[in-house]
Chain A
């Protein structure tokens, strides 16, 4: 069983969800792709469900809770912008906020 090589991301660190649309079984909600939030907590390692879905051995990857403001997700017409949303996101969907 291969373990993830990437170090855990610190709570509070900003992260962006990849804006990609790969085929197959994916576990990242469409409405959060490309959006920026912060790590709310590290939930530890788990088998990558996007691989497990095909019945094969999966890499152990980190699962995080990422917090967004409604403004992060929906822009200026979010009502009110300061309400928040947490979602569970697997590390393979996260990229640093400075990535282009």
Chain B
């Protein structure tokens, strides 16, 4: 047996716990969402197919999009210069629309490490990185990243040298932020695809750095 658990009463045949069915009454906001959605469809403002397509598009966004942007910036100096000067317009070149006022790309250097947080809510560049990780939305990260960013980064496994300035970006309004990490040593001659494969989500938020 792959999973030889003892408490068989609460486990499925595959050995995993059952998830409870959601048989409780709808919450106020669930009812409101259904009512508004049905009205919009009834009045012809949108269609069920459009809503389903939008959910699919949202689910298909992932940090791989951001990684391809970073890899291109690492290999194409002109692209990188344009990306730092105008994030949204330059992402549009790669068919990545950014639905914010502007995407601000912030570059890590030997002197400066950037890290992004949204203390007011959970603003996040979803078009580029997909849905935010749970920790990004939690009060602990949102409150501590602006108070003791080095300690928070250290808990992520990233210990920065004392002579590196930590630059926190509190994404409080209509901008969205992408951290452009430093290209690691030992990646000379790598293709864009090879480079993109080492660019993880957290490194584009500033909570990690890519490793070759």
A residues engaging B (CB < 8 A)?
27-29, 31-32, 43-44, 46, 49, 63, 65, 73-74, 79-80, 82-90
CB of B84 closer than 8 Å to a CB of A: no
Question: Which A residues lie within 8 Å of B175 (CB)?
Answer: 43, 65, 88
Asked whether A43 lies within 8 Å of B102 as measured between CB atoms, the reply is: yes
Contact segment of B28-36, B52-60, B146-154, B184-192: B146-154
The interface centre, meaning the residue of B101, B172, B174, B175 with most chain A CB atoms within 10 A of its CB, is B172
* Cross-interface CB contact of A88 among B146, B162, B171, cutoff 8 Å: B171
The yes or no answer to B119 lying at the interface (CB within 8 A) is yes
User: Which residues does chain A contribute within 8 Å of B165, judged by CB atoms?
Assistant: 82-84
Render B113-148 as a binary contact track against A, CB cut-off 8 A, 1 for contact. 000000110000000000000000000000000111
Residues in A whose Cβ lies below 8 Å from that of B167: 83-86
- For residue B166, CB closer than 8 A to chain A, the reply is yes
Please determine whether A84 and B168 come into contact, CB atoms closer than 8 angstroms: yes
B169 at the interface (CB under 8 A from A): yes
Min distance, Cβ A42 to any Cβ of chain B, angstroms: 12
Main secondary structure of the interface of B (DSSP, over half): mixed
Instruction: Report chain B residues within 8 Å CB of A80.
Output: 150, 162
- Say yes or no for B158: interface residue by CB 8 A criterion: no
Once the chains bind, are A85 and B173 in contact (CB under 8 Å)? Answer: no
Q: How far is the CA of A85 from the CA of B206 in the complex (A)?
A: 13
CA–CA, A31 to B173, complex, Å? 15
A86 near B101: Cβ-Cβ < 8 Å: no
Distance A89 CA – B138 CA, assembled complex (angstroms): 22
A89 and B80 alpha carbons, distance in the complex (Å): 27
Q: A27-B120, A29-B119, A31-B119 are in contact. Are A88 and B173 (CB under 8 A)?
A: yes
Whether A29 touches B102, Cβ cut-off 8 Å, given contacts A79-B148, A84-B167, A85-B146, is: no
How far does the Cβ of B120 sit from chain A's closest Cβ, in whole Å?
Answer: 6
